Amino acid sequence: MGSRLEGKTILVTGAAGALGSAVARSCAAEGAALVLADLNVEAVQALADEIGAAGATASAERLDVTDGDEFDALVAASAQRYGTLNGLVNTAGIVSPNARIHHLSTQDFERTVSVNLTGTFHAIRAVARALRKRSPVSIVNIASVSGLTAWSYAAPYCASKAGVIHLTRVAALEYAKEGIRVNAVCPGTFPTALHETLPAEAMQAIEAKHPLGLGSPDNLTGAVVYLASDESSWVTGHSLVVDGGYSLP
């Protein structure tokens, strides 16, 4: 157990997922109290029970990040329950159908953007509405190297993640003077449920592009804890690439 997040309350979206649950465990191990939010409420309740049994504080909440009113209500209620919120880590995300642009429907595009980009917008807006000038908050958005490099067959995903990176910069600028830092993490590939539909050859091709090999959620939690903690108090608007060397060439 460490103390890098001692005294902080952090909301994690997508907390039932591979990365979200790893982030939650790491933040709890560093002393944070957690609000764990996801569409999958049974899974976040199980995680909250596990974290609670280990001696930390965690509550589970159902949240659809595409619903701005729900997001506002959860941030306000969490801040009231815990006195304030000091961090928000946005890991909720989906991949788009694996197809070239001319095969994609408008709904395919909008669904991906609504979770990955509009969901991040709702998160930042909810924090700004409830906590601006009230207490320092660090927002960490999980983007992707696909927001920095172009991938065929993944236009909605790449566009949504590029949007997250730039939204992070704009929000950082808008709220720097009001106590809210906003940063992003751009992971390379770590195999999870997101890759279930990809053929084995596609995964092998992706792996070959990572000089350090494919990652795991545990390769990313250090970056998230750093950005959520006071160690990064002079860092805002940054997108921290954690990708096993994927973006080097």
Ligand X SMILES: NC(=O)c1ccc[n+]([C@@H]2O[C@H](COP(=O)([O-])OP(=O)(O)OC[C@H]3O[C@@H](n4cnc5c(N)ncnc54)[C@H](O)[C@@H]3O)[C@@H](O)[C@H]2O)c1
Residues found near ligand X in the complex (CB under 6 A): 13-14, 16-20, 38-40, 63-66, 91-94, 115, 142, 144, 187, 189-190, 192-194
CB of 21 to ligand X, least distance (A): 8
CB of 156 to ligand X, least distance (A): 11
Torsion of CA 192, 170, 176, 24, to 10 degrees: -10
When the beta carbons of 3 and 152 are compared against ligand X, the nearer one is 152
Backbone torsions φ then ψ of 181, nearest 5 degrees: -95, 145
**C-alpha to C-alpha distance for 170 and 139, rounded to whole angstroms:** 13
What is the number of the residue whose Cβ is closest to ligand X? Answer: 17
Written as one letter, the residue type at 52 is G
Specify burial of residue 235 (Cβ count, 10 A radius: 0-12, 13-18, 19+): middle
CB of 140 to ligand X, least distance (A): 11
Told to judge if 226 belongs to the known catalytic residues of this protein, a careful annotator would answer: no
Beta strand pairing call for 9-13 and 87-90? parallel
When the beta carbons of 73 and 194 are compared against ligand X, the nearer one is 194
Is-contact 137 211, C-beta < 8 A? no
When the beta carbons of 204 and 234 are compared against ligand X, the nearer one is 204
- Total residue length of the chain: 249
CB of 7 to ligand X, least distance (A): 26
When the beta carbons of 13 and 138 are compared against ligand X, the nearer one is 13
Q: Given the residues 157, 175, 226, 246, select the one marked as catalytic.
A: 157
Catalytic residues: 157
